[in-house]
Amino acid sequence: MDAIRECCAGLDVHQETVVACVLKGRLDRKPVQTIETFGTTTKELLRLQNFLIAHECKDVVMESTGVLWKPVWNILEPSCNLVVANPRRVKNLPGRKTDMKDAQWLAKLHRCGLIPASMIPEEKFRDLRDLTRYRRKLIQAASSEKNRIHKILQDANIKLTTYVSDLFGVSGRALLQKLMDGEVLNEEEIKKVVKTKLIPKAGQLVEALNGKVRLHHREMITSHSEHLAFLENQIERLGIKIEMMLDEYKETIERIDSVPGIERNTAMEILAEIGPNAADLFPSDAHLAAWAGLSPGNSESAGKSRKSKTVKGNKYIKSALCQSAWANSRSNNRIGIHFRRIRKRRGDKKANVATAHLLLRILFALIRDQTMYEEKKDMLTGGSMSEEKMLAGYLMQIQKLGYQVQLNKETAS
């Protein structure tokens, strides 16, 4: 391996210690090696910074071990050119596993330029990621609380969900409040509480509310409802904060939002994950897809390709794009057609991931070219290439059955 850096360092980061290995010397000679162990408190990390400065070392690499790399990054970022490595890319040989050898291995690979850098966004977008990811967690927690209330209602013989499609709409919440208060409702009182289409169903709602509700059920529903109200308030506050932070990126959000199946909140989540300069950070849409964990894996030997799973990547953007892909499963657009075409051969789940891959490639092009999404007519009606592929597929199937076909294109009279 040819060296390309005269001085570099590898850091093996742990909860309590950081082992630093500095390699320094001419490119055509064996470098001088210096190894030292530091703590992870701010005082110790500042001592690590001084250690690197004393050796005139600016190129530093470390593994992305959970969140343990972040304190080191915060201290060394102003003075070093930091690279955070994916652990899957820098595995050492089995049987050579000590902290010092790990630091040496990282330094050797970095000296030869063999460690690709992970994408670390600027501080503003790191903060934004925390907010969008936390909001997603709160939304999931709110959904769990709603499911618990549904479960308690069934346990109490309350069949509201049979007649109320959205139990947590205006009418549903009003009926739940009456139930928690222990009120016995008649048809006239229900008509005063519910809205629009539920008014004619007042008689059926009386029967649905006639169950075996005990004090235990009312207390549990009240507890879950209070927690749900708290979560919804937190989600709203986070939404306002995220909107304020992304106020200067309104045009980019609108570009992402213009893609079918992607709503505004999802667009903000995607922007927080990939950043507004994705086209500058990634050489191509294929690199971005691999980083997101949406590109198909490669498993080929002796000229034969075997089945392989998608690689691991950013689970947050992958989840958001897969959700958007499902939203397009029945749409009459390019994305929906792509989903249904893959589903015929590979099934729902693989079609979902393949469609999420397509969405990410489209987003990369929109951000790179700074344009809005446009649906082209030939994508829906099928151009000459689509017709040729379809014809080739039919011919292959017929030939597998042992028949020969002669094609004659019919001319219009």
Q: State whether 73 and 22 are in the same domain.
A: yes
User: Looking at the 3D structure of the chain, how many domains does it have?
Assistant: 3
Residue 361's domain spans which residues? 249-378
Angle at 113 between CA 365 and CA 23, to 5 degrees: 145
Contact criterion met (CB below 8 Å) for 140 and 232: no
- pLDDT on residue 384: 41
Q: Tell me the pLDDT tens digit for each residue of 159-190.
A: 998 899 899 999 999 999 999 998 888 888 89
Is residue 356 assigned to a domain?
A: yes
Inter-axis angle of helices 315-327 and 264-274, to 10 degrees? 150
Average confidence (pLDDT) over 6-33 = 94
- pLDDT on residue 293: 92
Contact criterion met (CB below 8 Å) for 228 and 239: no
Say whether 25 sits in a helix, a strand or coil: coil
Q: State whether 73 and 129 are in the same domain.
A: no
Q: State whether 273 and 374 are in the same domain.
A: yes
Angstrom distances, CA of residue 386 to CA of 21, 341, 390, 398 = 56, 12, 6, 19
Phi-psi region of 317 (alpha: psi -120 to 50; beta: other; left: phi over 0): alpha
Q: State whether 30 and 75 are in the same domain.
A: yes
Last residue within a domain, chosen from 111, 134, 169 = 111
Last residue within a domain, chosen from 111, 142, 161 = 111
Is residue 129 assigned to a domain?
A: yes
Average confidence (pLDDT) over 221-240 = 96
Q: State whether 213 and 267 are in the same domain.
A: no
Q: State whether 81 and 145 are in the same domain.
A: no
Q: Tell me the pLDDT tens digit for each residue of 353-383.
A: 999 999 999 999 999 999 999 987 655 544 4
Q: State whether 186 and 229 are in the same domain.
A: yes
Q: State whether 276 and 340 are in the same domain.
A: yes
Is residue 335 assigned to a domain?
A: yes
171 token code pair: 């009418």
Residue whose pair of structure tokens reads 């162990």 in the numeric block:
37
Angle at 110 between CA 104 and CA 116, to 5 degrees: 130
Q: In the predicted model, what is the mean pLDDT of the chain? A: 90
Using CA atoms, how far apart are residues 63 and 133, in angstroms rounded to an integer? Answer: 22
Contact criterion met (CB below 8 Å) for 9 and 21: yes
Q: In CATH, what number is assigned to the domain containing residue 107? A: 3.30.420.10
Q: State whether 302 and 373 are in the same domain.
A: yes
Q: In CATH, what number is assigned to the domain containing residue 214? A: 1.10.287
- pLDDT on residue 392: 83
Q: State whether 87 and 142 are in the same domain.
A: no
Q: Tell me the pLDDT tens digit for each residue of 148-162.
A: 999 999 999 999 988
Is residue 406 assigned to a domain?
A: no
Q: Tell me the pLDDT tens digit for each residue of 299-346.
A: 777 777 777 777 788 999 999 999 999 999 999 899 999 999 999 988
Average confidence (pLDDT) over 111-124 = 91
Is residue 396 assigned to a domain?
A: no
Q: State whether 171 and 289 are in the same domain.
A: no
Q: Tell me the pLDDT tens digit for each residue of 260-273.
A: 999 999 999 999 99
The pLDDT-based confidence of 393 (bands split at 50, 70, 90) is: confident
Number of alpha helices (DSSP H) and beta strands (DSSP E) in the chain: 17, 7
- pLDDT on residue 92: 81
Is residue 400 assigned to a domain?
A: no
Is residue 2 assigned to a domain?
A: no
The pLDDT-based confidence of 412 (bands split at 50, 70, 90) is: low
Q: Tell me the pLDDT tens digit for each residue of 44-64.
A: 999 999 999 999 999 999 998
Residue 411 pLDDT > 70: no
